[in-house]
């Protein structure tokens, strides 16, 4: 992205180049008409600066795509886990994992959250809060690194 000074310098240089190109093509004359050329060049530079300044206003305040900024809709892949349920192995996003690894976990749609019953590593039946991946996908979320 160009700074305002760089845009102004580019505009002035281009204006000067366009204004001075006819001078180099015509033979030199002996009369002192330099004041008119200087005024014309100064006028072109001012008009170019005004046009450039107006173009810059168009993008102020917009949220442009920035690849260095992570998306709010990209869910961490490490949280898509397999759970052994009564109905077999299912894949869900674990709520605790999302709380720890996803900054916007509190903004996930509540309708996609559900409870499942699984056995923990000690063999006890426990309830886990999970998010259904299909429901989240319908809401516009995706797994980071995939698309």
- pTM for the whole thing? 0.52
Q: What is the DSSP track for 81-141?
A: EEEEETTEEEEEEEHHHHHHH-TTGGGS-GGGEEEEEEE-TTS-EEEEEEE-HHHHHHTT-
Instruction: Give the rounded distance of the alpha carbon of 127 from its chain centre.
Output: 38
**Residue 76 CB neighbour total at 10 angstroms:** 17
CA-based radius of gyration for the chain: 31
d(CA 118, CA 82): 11
Per-residue pLDDT of the chain (147 residues; tens, 9 = 90+): 567 777 777 888 877 777 777 665 556 665 666 677 777 888 888 887 777 766 655 555 555 555 555 678 899 999 999 988 888 899 999 999 999 999 899 999 999 999 998 888 888 888 999 999 999 999 999 998 765
Give the pairing of strands 88-94 and 125-131.
antiparallel
């Amino acid at each position: 992205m160009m700074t305002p000074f760089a845009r102004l310098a580019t505009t002035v240089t281009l204006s000067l180049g366009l204004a001075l190109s006819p001078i180099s093509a015509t033979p030199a004359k002996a009369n002192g008409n330099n004041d008119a050329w200087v005024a014309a060049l100064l006028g072109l530079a001012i008009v170019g600066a005004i046009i450039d300044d107006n173009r810059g206003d168009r993008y102020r305040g917009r949220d442009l795509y920035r690849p260095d900024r992570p998306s709010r809709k990209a869910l961490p892949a490490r949280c898509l886990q397999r759970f052994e349920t009564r109905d077999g192995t299912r894949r869900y996003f674990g709520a605790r994992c999302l709380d720890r690894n996803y900054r916007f976990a509190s903004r996930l749609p509540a309708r996609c959250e559900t409870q499942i019953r699984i056995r923990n590593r000690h063999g006890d039946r426990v309830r886990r809060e999970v998010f259904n991946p299909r429901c989240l996908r319908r809401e516009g979320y995706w797994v980071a690194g995939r698309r």
